[in-house]
Chains A and B, each alone.
Chain A
Amino acid sequence: MTRRFLPLLTTTGVFVAGYLLCMAEFHNFATARVACNLLTDNAYLGITAVGMTFVILSGGIDLSVGSVIAFTTVFLAIAIGPLRIPPLMAFLIALAIGAAFGAAMGAVIHALGIPPFIVTLAGMFLARGASFLLSTESVPITHPLYAMLNDLSLPISGGRLGLIAIVMLLVFLAGGILAHRTRFGANVFALGGNPASARLMGVPVGRTLILIYMLSGGLAALSGIVFSLYTSAGYSLAATGTELDAIAAVVIGGVLLTGGYGYVFGSFVGILIQGLIQTFITFDGTLSSWWTKIAVGALLFSFIGVQRLFQVFWSGSGDVDTA
């Protein structure tokens, strides 16, 4: 049992140690405000990371999510602004577009047997291009509902847990249940562990694949909604590289890049670690922000190394990792 949890424990340990280190370094770090900010500022990344967790658990990859976020923000800005569609309606349409886009990619991956990397790379260009088609400039969203939703928050001793942070926490919770407690989740793990044996076990491969990418696309659209709330604007250059941050979070969180092993909770810790590094750098104020990338890169390397070691040590020990 402990063995299975070891990568997750390592990640969590790194996060806790990092947080304590920051608290030691900066006298005003140990506040509820910083903790709430960590959740609110990384809400869009977290929601995307949940979708990415499913994709990576199944042994795939989804490079299109950053572009889908950008597309969603621009779409919302135009739908709510010039087109005068009510925001909630626009949210639903955006979610439907994201999910349909993801499902289409899943279908292509399954039907044509093209690697997910290629299909979602094409999806990335498509979605980014489409958002430029809608508008090349940053479009502000001034609907009163946006101001209202932005004001909604849970006050926690001096800090404010914003609505978008709460949405992210709920998505993580739902994602955890879906991955670890349902038939669909078991199918995802089986698919990532070994597609051939999954098929033999009677896992509906095609349907599961389509559902996985649909989930990822839908969550990317939700993340886009959250992002548009966060910036009150739609911008076609928004969230560039978010797909890579999400992949990094998932891998740092202990999910095996080849699929079949990992926890949704790990991805949560993964985004918190990235957020923590960023916060550390702003608190310090003298380091270049690019150190975030360097630190994340170093972490990724070491985590992949650790994973590989675990695999080598445990192979043949009979402890099958299907969670």
Chain B
Amino acid sequence: MMRCKFIGIMALALVAATGSARAADRLVVGFSQIGSESGWRAAETKVAKMEAEKRGIELKISDAQQKEENQIKAVRSFIAQGVDAIFIAPVVATGWEAVLKEAKDAKIPVILLDRGIDVKDEGLYLTVVRSDAVYEGQVAGEWLAKAATGACNIVELQGTVGASVAIDRKKGFEKIVSETPRLKIVRTQSGDFTRAKGKEVMESFIKAENGGKTICAMYAHNDDMAIGGIQAIKAAGLKPGKDILVVSIDGVPDIFKAMADGEANASVELTPDMAGPAFDALLAFKANGTVPPKWIKTTTRLYQPDTAKAEYERRKDLY
């Protein structure tokens, strides 16, 4: 008993010492991140930290290890801490109603990053910051329409079947192709967003298309599949980037390396900077109550070989 009391007194003394030292005027944001399953995800977390520092915001990050229950726990814990805002990159779309209601009751604004959720009442969150995947496909298509001068047979490596990103990136690209009679998608198949599957599917495309001679361009829904596809093109004795044009989406470091080596032609970036626009929206909301649009679209940029080397250097430590 004596010892317990002693610890208690010590603890209280510590509370008094540290409690007052805390700066009260800094904005505190809790960020419930899905995990660190991919390079892009890790980059998103790193950029969020950098962007918070830039604006003098204290960012508390909780990695949910891909588990929704951990995310809910983290959000509830952020509410208990009385943070000024909560960012969530939701691992699944369902099951957010109760905890978001709690945040709303505590008057803590919630901003979703990178993915949307299914809730009946959209007022439960302030806004969602994510890219426009249809537009990404469109940008890739527009680049190809300019780059390919004559008639062009395109092969397409799709993402995972049913994934909303894959559906949207296909839709945007197809829109441009249908508007440009010179362009034609001759083969399309899923490469599951992975390098290995991308390579495999591209190998079969090359076999089917007269050893690749009749293919003018390859469009991949992500960079990883494009890198796999490039390997398949090289293995078939063709030159990727020259004999077959290569365009893909995401902007991971390796595709910039490929572009610098002349093996890829263009990549549409899915920016890992989701937190930056979210911070700006939050600051405006806190300062004068400006309600942001329900969907803040991140900027979509096309990168080409001319800047590839510099971009690779800039990114290689981020991912």
Contacts and interface: CB of A to CB of B under 8 A. Distances in A.
A289 B62 contact: yes
B281 to A, nearest CB: 21
Nearest to B105: A160
Interface in B65-116: 65, 67-70, 72-74, 76-82, 92-95, 97-98
Interface stretch (B13-21, B244-252, B301-309): B13-21
Contacts of A40: 76
Interface stretch (A31-39, A86-94, A166-174, A295-303): A31-39
B314 interface: no
Contact of A286 (B60, B73, B78, B79): B60
Interface stretch (B3-11, B134-142, B167-175, B230-238): B3-11
For B10, B78, B97, which residue has the most chain A Cβ atoms within 10 angstroms? B97
A121 interface: no
Interface in B5-44: 7-8, 10-12, 14-15, 18-19, 22, 30
B68 A238 contact: yes
B11 A23 contact: yes
A17 B65 CA distance: 27
Contacts of A118: none
Interface size class of B (residues with CB under 8 A): 35 or more
Nearest to B60: A285
B118 interface: yes
Contact of A285 (B4, B62, B69): B62
B92 A235 contact: yes
Contacts of A278: 70, 73, 77
A231 B97 CA distance: 8
B60 A289 contact: no
B15 A30 contact: yes
B18 A25 contact: yes
B80 A31 contact: yes
Contacts of A230: 69, 72, 98
Contact of B4 (A16, A27, A41, A227): A16
B69 A283 contact: no
A240 B15 contact: no
A281 interface: yes
Given A27-B22, A28-B81, A140 B73 contact: no
Nearest to B31: A285
B303 to A, nearest CB: 31
Contacts of A142: 120
A26 B95 contact: no
A235 B67 CA distance: 11
Nearest to A17: B7
B68 A285 contact: no
B92 A233 contact: yes
Contacts of B74: 282
Contacts of B7: 16-17, 20
Nearest to B73: A41
Contact of B98 (A24, A232, A281): A232
A150 interface: yes
Nearest to B58: A285
B118 A239 contact: no
Contact of A232 (B62, B76, B95): B95
Interface string A136-167: 00111010000100100000000000000000
B69 A227 contact: yes
B18 A24 contact: yes
B61 interface: yes
B81 A26 contact: yes
B173 to A, nearest CB: 26
A32 to B, nearest CB: 10
Contacts of A10: none
Interface string B209-247: 000000000000000000000000000000000000000
A284 B94 CA distance: 27
A281 B14 contact: no
Contacts of A30: 15
A239 B68 CA distance: 9
A233 B62 contact: no
A133 interface: no
Given A27-B19, A279-B77, A289 B70 contact: yes
Contacts of A44: 69
Given A37-B77, A230-B69, A230-B72, A289 B98 contact: no
A95 to B, nearest CB: 21
For B4, B59, B67, which residue has the most chain A Cβ atoms within 10 angstroms? B67
A3 B118 CA distance: 54
B186 to A, nearest CB: 32
Given A17-B7, A40-B76, A279-B77, 12 more contacts: A23-B11, A27-B18, A28-B82, A41-B73, A41-B77, A230-B98, A233-B95, A235-B94, A282-B74, A289-B62, A289-B64, A290-B65
11 contacts: A16-B4, A21-B11, A23-B11, A24-B14, A30-B15, A41-B76, A230-B72, A284-B60, A285-B58, A286-B61, A290-B65
Interface of A: 13, 16-17, 20-21, 23-28, 30-31, 33-34, 37, 40-41, 44, 138-140, 142, 147, 150, 227, 230-233, 235, 238-240, 278-279, 281-286, 288-290
